[in-house]
C-alpha cells in the first residue's frame, strides 16, 4: 500500500536567532561590535531584529554576512525582496488585497455613493 501524497513545497523558515549570532561570529562580528560600527550605543537595537521585524537592523546584519535579509528572514519579505507590512499597515494591506469585487469579506461595499 502506497501512502504517498503530493509533497508540499517546503516553506523556507527564518534562521534561528542563535544561527544568526553564530554566522556573525564566523564573519568576525558580535551584535555589539556591529551596532557600534553603525554608530549605535549598544547592540540591543540590532538584537531586536532577531525576534521581531526591524528592517534597518535586518539590513545591517545581512550586510555584515554578505547576503540579503530575505535569506535570513524569509517570512518577513515578499518573493521580490520587498519588506512585508507589519502592525496596523499589515491589517490595512491584507484588507485591501483580500477584498473581492469592491466588497470586503463582510459584504460591505467600498464603492463611492
User: What is the pLDDT averaged over residues 67-89?
Assistant: 88
* Domains in the chain, number: 2
User: What is the pLDDT averaged over residues 5-16?
Assistant: 68
Going by C-alpha positions, the residue among 99, 113, 77 that lies closest to residue 67 is: 77
Instruction: Give the model's pLDDT for residue 55.
Output: 92
Give the contacts of 43 (CB within 8 A, at least 6 positions apart): 30, 31, 32, 33, 34, 35, 36
The answer to whether position 41 is within a domain reads yes
The answer to whether position 5 is within a domain reads no
Angle at the Cα of 44 from the Cα atoms of 54 and 14, rounded to 5 degrees = 45
User: Could you list the residue range(s) of the whole structural domain that residue 37 is in?
Assistant: 17-82
The more confident residue out of 88 and 7 is: 88
Let me know whether 78 and 89 are in one domain: no
The answer to whether position 3 is within a domain reads no
Element (H, E) at 12: none
User: What is the pLDDT averaged over residues 24-51?
Assistant: 93
Share of the chain above pLDDT 70, in %: 67
Instruction: Give the model's pLDDT for residue 43.
Output: 80
Let me know whether 74 and 98 are in one domain: no
Q: What does the pLDDT look like over 50-69, one tens digit per residue? A: 999 999 999 999 999 999 99
Amino acid at each position: 500500500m502506497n501512502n504517498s501524497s503530493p509533497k508540499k513545497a517546503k516553506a523556507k523558515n527564518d534562521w534561528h536567532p542563535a544561527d544568526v549570532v553564530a554566522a556573525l561570529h564566523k564573519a568576525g562580528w558580535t551584535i555589539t561590535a556591529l551596532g557600534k560600527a553603525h554608530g549605535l550605543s549598544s547592540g540591543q537595537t540590532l538584537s531586536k531584529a532577531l525576534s521581531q521585524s526591524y528592517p534597518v537592523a535586518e539590513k545591517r546584519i545581512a550586510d555584515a554576512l554578505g547576503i540579503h535579509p530575505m535569506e535570513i528572514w524569509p517570512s518577513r519579505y515578499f518573493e521580490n525582496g520587498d519588506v512585508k507590512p507589519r502592525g496596523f499597515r499589515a491589517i490595512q494591506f491584507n484588507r485591501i488585497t483580500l477584498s473581492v469585487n469592491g466588497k470586503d469579506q463582510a459584504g460591505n461595499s467600498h464603492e463611492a455613493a
